[in-house]
Structure 1
Amino acid sequence: MKKLNIFLLTFLLLPNFSWAEIVDSCGTEYQCIEVGRWDIGLAVGYGSRSNPLKDYDDIPIYIAPTFAYYGDSWYFDNGNIGYTLAEGERYTLNLTTSFSTESAFFHRWDPSNIFITGSSKFEASALSSRSQPTIMAEEQSVPMPNDLENRDFTYLGGIEAYLYTKIGIINLELTHDLLNVHQGTEAKLQWLYNLAVKQWNFELALEFDWKSEEVVNYYYGIRPSESEFWSQAYKAESAINTSLKFTSHYVLNEHWKLLFLARYTQIADEIVASPLLDEDYTSTFFLGTAYRF
């Protein structure tokens, strides 16, 4: 068995989760997954992920699958692949990959909208408080969804570290665009805390998610072909989103659990200033049952 807090499986992009049993070798504050064994689960219930983009619908959540496999050094977790470089009692260092989460707002069937049962995800004007041109901006046409060029999915790869402390787990992650879609970089700092009380398990996470100028410009910037005015009026900058995530589950038996998952993300002003957005936050919730095969 291998020490893995449920957050390590859950919050690489959007709160993915993998099921594990509490065993004595891990201690009561950890949940473990057996090395060399596929861990497959399916959650069914009701939830929703709010979409901060103008004229885009919120994303409903009814079913959320999970697939995970952890070997001695490498792992596969809901589409993410990683390799453990070093591991000790108080730390883990991995090479890691993860899905881009920004493309999920533009595409209903983006991987981040499939492997999610609680994820990240704005009320402010398109101009917000940032400095913008004053040339009758309110009369300028904002591109509609059908007028936008594609904002494609990409795969991120890089390095991550977990530090295990008495006050929780510290997660550091630095990743870069592997598919040459936007050539941007992302970095995350998370504090994770887990509390187990009999059949109940509660998990809390605070996350700071930095996105480079290339990432922000690709997804939220305006191309000249979409709007000549807004392509000049909105200038993308690097940004830091802040998220608070909560997960609670109640173990019914070896296979069944009750789940409640929630996430709130305060979107950075540098992104809110984009004319594509009409909210300054995103939220996700899911309530249902999960079965582990």
Structure 2
Amino acid sequence: MKNISIILAGFALAGTSLAQPVPDSPADEHELQIGLAGVNSQSIYLGGSSQSRVFPAIDYQYKRFYFQAGDLGFNLIDEKNWEVDFGLGVNLAGDTDRGDSPLLENLPKLSFPVNAFLSTQYKSSIGLFKLTYDHEINNKHNGHSASISYSAPIRQGQWLIMPQLSYEQHSEEVVNYFYGVNQADASTALPAYQTGSVNNWQLGILGLRAINDKWSFIGNIQNEFYGDEISNSPLVDDDQRLSVFVGLLYKVF
């Protein structure tokens, strides 16, 4: 498992997503990295507070199977420049805790929708391009999302620096699940709100440094910019969110 195939599973805990390269190549033997990570993420929800979480990190790969960044996947195609994967993951389009906002505590509780995904990655001389489509399969909202991202790996001494740009589209089912208000739950303070699909942008920079043969450090700063369909929701009081992630990984084998 190359260092570029990092573990960022904890973003699921904070409701934050990150475009990430798929495994560089199938592992002939079991490969495992474990560690400790933390994330701090602002909340865009009305009355919501920033959330800080510390959690264990796990990155596992065997042949064409892998568990990375909360995704359980299978590598269908692994060519020199192309990779195609499918698997299961968690939908990260919104915060299921709604920022622990006391103003929204009477709304129905949310849970993480599980998605089936298909992704394609192209490795070029100028960087990595990735296209992903996923569809919810556990009857939370029956929506779908799609994204296209670009990452530019830059080597600086012991560091691998990766500026990243992502464009996302979420269907109306996804948007209304996380940011809508049903008529039955509406009030004077929170009027009913249903909307259509939304387009979001993410801009970030990731840094990875191998400390030695066993230990490595990873950090990421990311800002997400939300479309009007989300920012106009009565549940929302901001149109962007900043997240910071740091982690320390140990290669077991």
| TM bin (shorter chain) | 0.7 to 0.9
Contact 2:50-2:99 within 8 A present in 1 as well: no
Match of 1:251 among 210, 228, 243: 210
Whole-angstrom CA distance in 2 between matches of 1:157 and 1:163 = 21
Residue 84 of structure 1, aligned match among 68, 72, 75: 75
Relative to structure 1, the CA distance from residue 105 to residue 56 in structure 2 (aligned partners, 3 Å threshold; closer, same or farther) is farther
Paired position in structure 2 for 1:210: 169
Match of 1:52 in 2: 44
Return the alpha-carbon distance in structure 2 between the equivalents of residues 263 and 64 of structure 1.
19
**Residue equivalent to 2:34:** 41
In structure 2, list runs of 5 or more residues that go unmatched. none
Cα offset for 1:290?
Answer: 4.2
- Structure 2 CA distance, aligned partners of 1:105 and 1:246? 25
| Aligned-pair CA distance for 1:212 | 0.2
CA distance in 2, matches of 1:269, 1:108: 19
* Superposed CA RMSD: 3.1
Task: State how far apart, in whole Å, the 2-side matches of 1:38 and 1:253 are.
Answer: 17
- Structure 1 gap segments, 5+ residues each: 21-30, 110-142
Please say if residues 249 and 257 of structure 1, whose CA atoms lie closer than 8 Å, have aligned partners that are also in contact: yes
Quote the offset at 1:38 in angstroms. 3.6
Q: Once the two structures are superposed, what CA deviation does each residue of 1:136-187 show, in whole Å capped at 9, x if it has no partner?
A: xxxxxxx922211112211111211001111111100111001011000000
- In structure 2, relative to structure 1, the CA distance for the partners of 1:103 and 1:239 (3 Å cut) is closer
Q: Give, in whole Å, the separation in 2 of the partners of 1:33 and 1:50.
A: 36
1:187 pairs with 2:146: yes
In structure 1, how many angstroms separate the alpha carbons of the residues matched to 2:95 and 2:28?
A: 31
Conserved 8 A contact 2:43-2:98 = no
Q: TM-score normalised to the size of structure 2?
A: 0.83
Distance 1:270 1:107, change over 3 A: closer
> For the pair shown, which has the larger CA radius of gyration, 1 or 2?
1
Bigger proportion of residues as strand: 2
**8 A Cα contact 2:48 2:99, kept in partner:** no
Aligned residue identity for 1:40: Q
Q: For residues 232-252 of structure 1, what are the alpha-carbon distances to aligned partners after superposition, in whole Å with 9 as ceiling and x for unaligned?
A: 4x3311001100121113322
SS at match of 1:209: strand
For residues 175-218 of structure 1, what are the alpha-carbon distances to aligned partners after superposition, in whole Å with 9 as ceiling and x for unaligned? Answer: 10010110000001000111123311111210011100110011
Q: Distance in 2 between matches of 1:4 and 1:251?
A: 8
CA distance in 2, matches of 1:53, 1:283: 13
Tell me the CA shift for residue 55 of structure 1: 1.8
| C-alpha distance 253-43 of structure 1, shift in aligned 2 (>3 A) | same
8 Å Cα contact 1:69/1:77 also seen in 2: yes
Secondary structure at 1:159 match in 2: strand
The structure 2 residue matched to 1:102, chosen from 93, 96, 111, is 93
SS in 1 for 2:152: strand
* Equivalent of residue 196 in structure 1, options 133, 139, 155: 155
With over 3 angstroms needed to count, the CA separation of the structure-2 counterparts of 1:17 and 1:289, relative to structure 1, is farther
User: Contact 1:95–1:160 (CA<8 Å) still a contact in 2?
Assistant: yes
- Please give the secondary structure, in 1, of the residue aligned with 2:95: helix
Indicate the residue corresponding to 1:118 in structure 2. none
Residue 106 of structure 1: how far off its partner (Å): 1.7
Query: Do the aligned residues in 2 keep the contact of 1:221 with 1:231 (CA within 8 Å)?
Result: no
Taking structure 1 as the reference length, what is the TM-score of the superposition? 0.73
The DSSP-based 3-state class of the residue aligned with 2:108 is coil
Q: CA–CA distance in 2 between the matches of 1:158 and 1:201?
A: 27
Q: CA separation in 1, counterparts of 2:80 and 2:8?
A: 21
